[in-house]
Structure 1
Amino acid sequence: MPVLIILLMLVVVGGIGAGLFLLVKKLDPMQNDKTENDKLEIAQDFLPFDDIRNNMIIMPNHNYRAVIECSALNYDLKTEGERDQIEMSFQQFINSLNFPISIFLQTKEIDNTRRVETLREEISKTLVEFPGMKTYADHFMSDMENLNVRIGNNQQKKRYIVVPYDDAVALDGLTDGEKAAYANKELLNRCNAVRSGLDAVGIITKTLSTAELIELVYSCYNREGFSYAAAISSNEAFALFVDGAEDKFVDLPRVGMLDLILGEAINKLRAGNVDSEKNGQGAMQEMLALQKEATRRMEQIRLKYAGYFVDGGET
């Protein structure tokens, strides 16, 4: 009897182990799924989204996504006071959101194909007028074609924020097209809120167009030369994320809060995220004309009356 029980236990444990092994193997991204599905008739059926148009990714069940590209911020080169200002501005930005966002970091090999082709065309036109520069042009073209090898860096890092809108399914009485149009407006409002908050941090942002979204999605499915796992495993991608457990506003004096407000205003002036739609071109030109002088005057006011973060919190 005990032998029978032991045999049954071995069978059960073996079955569980085999099931776990198959599950892990199936989830392993390095394993290629070679199974066939007769219900999938076109390549689009393999993709987790339905379409990309109107500056948004259209997901199943009336879910939509917009993507914002963000510039880098040289956090390591900032002073301690400037770092505090960045963290506090970022904390305020996160606390102001009433919808979820996702942060996506992408590292890929730099593709200079278009740039090299454009340069080759320009050189050809130049040599028609100045044929004596052919030797110089050949050396210059050779250097530019191998630029990544010469500088020892062929990697490009980009940072994105994915903004969702999943509430369109609850809009009763609207057609699919009307739901998509409503979602597009809501995504625009959400993207503007995110960009405004990041302006205060000092980050330059851009909402991706339809063509740019297609390029981003294409690069995600063509991963040759891409590096995701290494950055995540070494914690490099998340090394400078702000620690949410620390509340820097607790002991902040009033002069510090004044300086934070002035600093964020200067960052917003420098960012200059003004959409140039319809009559926005004129507003953009006038704002750019005033931006430099306004930034200079704001910096003078900040140094005269505040300067808390500029001086490292010693004011």
Structure 2
Amino acid sequence: MELMHSKNKKQKDAGTSTQKYVNVEEVKNDLVVLKNKSLRAIFLVSSINFDLKSADEQEAIIGGYQNFINSLDFPIQIMISSRRLNIEPYLELLEKKRKTQTNELLRLQISEYSNFIKDLTEVSQIMTKQFYLVVPFFPVENLENGFLDRIMNFFNPKQQVEETIEIFETYKNQLWQRVDQISAGLTSLGVRATVLNTEELIELLYSSYNPSVYSNSTIKDLDAMDFE
């Protein structure tokens, strides 16, 4: 019994010690709130096959990207997530289609195609990439609040909560102004982008901190998030 208690305590302590290195305080309102109270909005961004563009198109893309970067007066982060593609769900779908197909020739073609895809993925490790753009907002401390104001807030917690909510809404609105600017800039480049909602942010963070769980990406995941 003592051994089990000791084991559970070690697991709990390990989880607590790990959380100390996670800089995220909470995820809400389609935003990530860090422990220093700064905010993050995250875009899922489509890619452009630059090599297939003509020389003029490539030059236009580079010029547009340069103008986009120069128009920003705040930092951004670009993150690339690479995962090995898991083809099993797609093969299962093909097998269901084959079984329900009444045309014998089509059944044979589906079977041959399924075998081809399976052999191809076994020979070569196909990777999927997803591109993210992180938009930050760093709140500036209100230097006008002196010692007396902090004492008053201590004895009036309701007012403090109301002010905290109001301040969060102010910071959030300022961040969304940046989000709108980023969205317009990416659209002008011919790049599609969508802001991750709260559920998608949690999934992204969980997969980032637990790579062994999300080491593979299934084919159905590629269309899980719609671009608008």
Alpha-carbon offset, residue 108 of structure 1: 1.3
Contact 1:63 1:168 in 2 (8 A): no
Return the letter of the residue paired with 1:51.
Answer: E
123, 129, 136: which one pairs with 2:96?
Answer: 123
Counterpart Cα distance in 1 of 2:38 and 2:134: 13
Within 5 A, what are the aligned runs for 1:133-212?
A: 136=107, 139=111, 143=115, 146=118, 149=121, 152-167=124-139, 169-170=141-142, 175-212=163-200
Structure number with higher relative contact order (C-alpha < 8 Å, ≥ 6 residues apart) = 2
Compared with structure 1, are the counterparts of its residues 142 and 81 closer, same or farther at alpha carbon in structure 2 (3 Å cutoff)? closer
Contact 1:101 1:164 in 2 (8 A): yes
Contact 2:84 2:126 in 1 (8 A): yes
Compared with structure 1, are the counterparts of its residues 98 and 155 closer, same or farther at alpha carbon in structure 2 (3 Å cutoff)? same
Return the letter of the residue paired with 1:123.
Answer: K
Compared with structure 1, are the counterparts of its residues 64 and 147 closer, same or farther at alpha carbon in structure 2 (3 Å cutoff)? farther
SS in 2 for 1:158: strand
Counterpart Cα distance in 2 of 1:112 and 1:211: 25
Alpha-carbon offset, residue 136 of structure 1: 3.8
Compared with structure 1, are the counterparts of its residues 85 and 44 closer, same or farther at alpha carbon in structure 2 (3 Å cutoff)? same
Q: Is 1:75–2:78 an aligned residue pair?
A: no
Q: Is 1:103–2:59 an aligned residue pair?
A: no
Compared with structure 1, are the counterparts of its residues 131 and 198 closer, same or farther at alpha carbon in structure 2 (3 Å cutoff)? closer
Return the letter of the residue paired with 1:149.
Answer: T
Counterpart Cα distance in 1 of 2:116 and 2:199: 27
- Mind listing any 5+ residue stretches in structure 2 that lack a counterpart? 1-10, 146-159, 216-226
Compared with structure 1, are the counterparts of its residues 61 and 141 closer, same or farther at alpha carbon in structure 2 (3 Å cutoff)? same
Counterpart Cα distance in 1 of 2:188 and 2:101: 52
Return the letter of the residue paired with 1:188.
Answer: W
Alpha-carbon offset, residue 132 of structure 1: 5.6
Task: Please state which structure has a larger fraction of its residues in strand.
Answer: 2
Return the letter of the residue paired with 2:59.
Answer: D
Counterpart Cα distance in 2 of 1:67 and 1:175: 26
Contact 2:91 2:114 in 1 (8 A): no
Contact 1:110 1:154 in 2 (8 A): yes
- Mind listing any 5+ residue stretches in structure 1 that lack a counterpart? 1-35, 227-272, 275-315
Alpha-carbon offset, residue 194 of structure 1: 0.7
What TM-score do you get using the length of structure 2 for normalisation? 0.65
For 1:54, the equivalent position in structure 2 comes to 29
Contact 1:66 1:191 in 2 (8 A): yes
Alpha-carbon offset, residue 216 of structure 1: 1.5
Alpha-carbon offset, residue 49 of structure 1: 0.5
208, 217, 220: which one pairs with 2:208?
Answer: 220
Cα deviation code 1:140-195 (max 9, x no counterpart): 89659947616834201111111001116549676333333233222222111111
Count of residue correspondences: 190
SS in 1 for 2:43: strand
Return the letter of the residue paired with 1:207.
Answer: V
Counterpart Cα distance in 2 of 1:147 and 1:210: 38
SS in 1 for 2:24: coil
